[in-house]
Amino acid sequence: MRKFYQLTRAERVQALVDAGLLSTADAHLLLADAPLPQATAEHLTENQIGQFPLPMGLVRGLRVNGLTHDVALVGEEPSVVAAANNGARMARAGGGVTVQVPPHRVAAEVVFADLAEPEAAVRLIEAQVADIKAAAAAAHPSIVRRGGGLQAVHVQQRQQFVKVTLVVDPQQAMGANIVNTIAERVGRLLGSWLHQPPLISILSNYSDDAVIATVAIPVNAVATRHADGATVARLIARTSDFAMIDIDRATTNNKGVMNGIAAATIALGNDYRAVEAGAHAYAARSGRYLPLTQWRVADDTLHGKIAVPLQLGVVGGAVGALHRAGLAQRLAGIKTVADAQALLAALGLVQNLAAVRALVGPGIQAGHMHLQAGALAVAAGATGDEVARLTQQLQAGDKTLARAQHLLALMRQ
Ligand code: NDP
Looking at residue 128, its pLDDT comes to 97
Quick one: pLDDT at residue 52?
96
* Residue whose CA lies nearest to ligand 1 atom number 29: 317
Report the first-to-last Cα separation within the chain, whole angstroms. Answer: 38
What is the whole-number distance in angstroms between the Cα of residue 180 and the centre of ligand 1? Answer: 10
pLDDT at 366: 65
**Region 41-64 average pLDDT:** 97
Q: What does the pLDDT read at residue 367?
A: 61
**Count of CB atoms within 10 A of residue 354's CB?**
26
The model's pLDDT over 7-44, given as tens digits with 9 standing for 90+, comes to: 999 999 999 999 999 999 999 999 998 899 999 999 99
Distance in angstroms (rounded) separating the CA atoms of residues 82 and 85: 5
CB 174 within 8 A of CB 317: yes
Enclosing H/E stretch for 193:
helix 176-194
Task: List pLDDT tens digits, range 68-85.
Answer: 999 999 999 999 999 999
pLDDT level of residue 365 (50, 70, 90 thresholds): low
| H helices, E strands: number in the chain | 16, 10
Active site residue 109: no
Region 325-343 average pLDDT: 98
Percentage above 90 pLDDT, the chain: 87
Q: What residue ranges line ligand 1, CB within 6 angstroms?
A: 142-143, 146, 170-178, 180, 203, 205, 271, 274, 313, 315-318
How many other CB atoms are there within 10 angstroms of residue 360's CB atom? Answer: 19
Alpha carbons 156 and 283: distance in angstroms, whole number: 24
pLDDT of residue 399: 86
Catalytic residue among 255, 300, 335, 406: 255
pLDDT band at 372 (very low <50, low <70, confident <90, very high): confident
Q: What single letter denotes the amino acid at residue 184?
A: E
Q: What pLDDT does residue 283 have? A: 98
pLDDT at position 343: 98
Confidence of residue 314 (pLDDT cuts 50, 70, 90): very high
**Residue 280: how many CA atoms within 13 Å on its side-chain side?**
12
Q: What is the mean pLDDT of residues 250-273?
A: 98
Rounded to 5°, angle at Cα 84 from 172 and 51? 65
What mean pLDDT value characterizes the chain?
95
C-alpha 273 to ligand 1 mean position (Å): 15
Query: What is the Å distance from ligand 1's center to 316 Cα?
Result: 4
Give pTM, 2 decimals: 0.92
Residue 358 or residue 367, greater confidence? 358
Eight-state DSSP code of residue 49: -
Query: Complex ipTM above 0.95?
Result: yes
User: Is residue 290 within 8 Å of residue 284, measured between CB atoms?
Assistant: yes
